[in-house]
Homo-oligomer: A and B are copies of this chain.
Amino acid sequence: MLSERQMMILRAVVRDFTNTGVPVGSKALAKQLPIHVSSATIRNEMAALEEQGLIKKTHSSSGRIPSVEGYRYYVDHLVKPDPLQPNDIDVIQTSLGGDFHKIDEIISQSATILSNLTSYTAFTLKPELKDSRLSGFRLVPLGKRQVMAILVTDSGDVENQTFDVSEAVSGDQLEAVVRLINDQLVGLTLPDVLQKLQTDIPLKIANYLQSPTGFLDIFGDVLTRAAQERFYVGGRLNLLNFSQDSDVDSLKSLYSLIDKTDDIANVLGPPSDNISVQIGNEMTNDALQNFSLITATYDVNQHGRGMIAILGPTRMPYSRMLGIVGAFREELAKKLLDYYRNYDE
């Protein structure tokens, strides 16, 4: 249990350290705090805070820096998100104000905006497609042997892929396949489609084609790509600013971590309604020991829920960051609702 004064001191330590990066000592605190006590008193309180594992020293006679637990306490109990700077609001609204023709453009643009605002690295995941349904499938013959497969979902997502057909296939046959898929699968959720694709469909398609597997593979490919959570990264290079003593190896593993599509869900953690903060070793991943991750979901009504996140050094100014993330999730949700409304009507 912390006294009021201890909280005040802890808050000041975190604030000061996140701002300056220098361990903060009793004297500086005494001068800075609103209450009027001597540095010796501060020292006593700091000893108590250290006792509880909330702050620590970098060496035996140094000032204090927050421990991970200290940051945690600060984030959970002491911080208040800063309201956005007018300037920041401007940036968001102009960057997001344009006319977009694809959801992906909005989401990827968002990653850039977020990284600019924070000067950290930002992630954006588009709303999950798990619940969206197949609304159309096309096969468009392009040349002698090339065909493009196009898949459309009811939420306006389009996924396509070109492939070669190994044998000569007639337009009629293609048509038949398309008709079959559209008859049987349209309206189902993507996971359901994927499942049927492995059971019912191969039998039926065999009527039209001798070796149907090729087609189904392609269709499956396009499908899984569409169903996969697609994520975007902004401000990759900002990570360079925080890799202390330029440890190339850890930088590399960091970069390969954030570029691997499959891992990202693991890294970000499960979605939650609140804005969530993960600090340093609270994340299991070794490469992230000196980083903090702020994640937040955004809801687009029946169109599902997506996620945004920023990754920065453990000593980030949390109040400002929480403010930005909180505001941005709202703006993004609004923008997407707008987009869908336009698209639906």
Q: Does A246 contact B (CB under 8 A)?
A: yes
Chain B residues with CB under 8 Å of A246's CB are 243, 245-246, 248
Per the bound structure, the CA–CA distance linking A152 and B142 in Å amounts to 7
Chain B residues with CB under 8 Å of A162's CB are 101-102, 158
Per the bound structure, the CA–CA distance linking A140 and B162 in Å amounts to 14
Chain B residues with CB under 8 Å of A237's CB are 251-252, 255-256
Per the bound structure, the CA–CA distance linking A158 and B138 in Å amounts to 16
CB neighbors of B among A88-112 (8 A): 101-102
Q: Are A140 and B140 in contact (CB under 8 A)?
A: yes
Q: Does A160 contact B (CB under 8 A)?
A: yes
CB neighbors of B among A204-260 (8 A): 237, 240-241, 243, 245-246, 248, 251-252, 255-256
Chain B residues with CB under 8 Å of A256's CB are 237
Chain B residues with CB under 8 Å of A150's CB are 140, 142, 148
**Closest approach, in angstroms, between the C-beta of A107 and any C-beta of chain B?**
15
CB neighbors of B among A233-292 (8 A): 237, 240-241, 243, 245-246, 248, 251-252, 255-256
Per the bound structure, the CA–CA distance linking A143 and B133 in Å amounts to 13
A interface residue count range (under 10 / 10 to 19 / 20 to 34 / 35 or more): 20 to 34
Q: Does A145 contact B (CB under 8 A)?
A: yes
Per the bound structure, the CA–CA distance linking A245 and B145 in Å amounts to 53
Q: Are A143 and B163 in contact (CB under 8 A)?
A: no
Q: Does A198 contact B (CB under 8 A)?
A: no
Chain B residues with CB under 8 Å of A343's CB are 145-146, 164
- Given A237-B256, A255-B237, A256-B237, do A152 and B143 touch, yes or no (CB 8 Å)? yes
CB neighbors of B among A136-191 (8 A): 136, 138, 140, 142-143, 145-146, 148, 150, 152, 156, 158, 160, 162-164
Chain B residues with CB under 8 Å of A163's CB are 101
Q: Does A6 contact B (CB under 8 A)?
A: no
Q: Does A135 contact B (CB under 8 A)?
A: yes
- Given A248-B240, A251-B240, A256-B237, do A146 and B142 touch, yes or no (CB 8 Å)? no
Per the bound structure, the CA–CA distance linking A343 and B158 in Å amounts to 27
Residue of B148, B156, B252 touching A146 (CB-CB under 8 A): B156
**Closest approach, in angstroms, between the C-beta of A341 and any C-beta of chain B?**
12
**Closest approach, in angstroms, between the C-beta of A226 and any C-beta of chain B?**
13
Chain B residues with CB under 8 Å of A160's CB are 148, 160
Chain B residues with CB under 8 Å of A251's CB are 237, 240
Per the bound structure, the CA–CA distance linking A241 and B251 in Å amounts to 10
- Considering the complex, give the chain B residue whose CB is closest to the CB of A143: B152
Chain B residues with CB under 8 Å of A342's CB are 164
Per the bound structure, the CA–CA distance linking A160 and B342 in Å amounts to 23
**Closest approach, in angstroms, between the C-beta of A68 and any C-beta of chain B?**
26
29 contacts between A and B (CB under 8 A): A101-B163, A101-B164, A102-B162, A135-B143, A136-B142, A136-B143, A138-B142, A140-B140, A142-B152, A142-B158, A143-B152, A143-B156, A146-B152, A146-B156, A146-B158, A146-B343, A148-B150, A148-B158, A148-B160, A158-B162, A160-B160, A237-B251, A237-B256, A240-B248, A240-B251, A240-B252, A241-B248, A243-B246, A245-B246
Q: List the 4 closest A-B pairs by CB distance, nearest first.
A: A246-B246, A142-B152, A158-B162, A240-B248
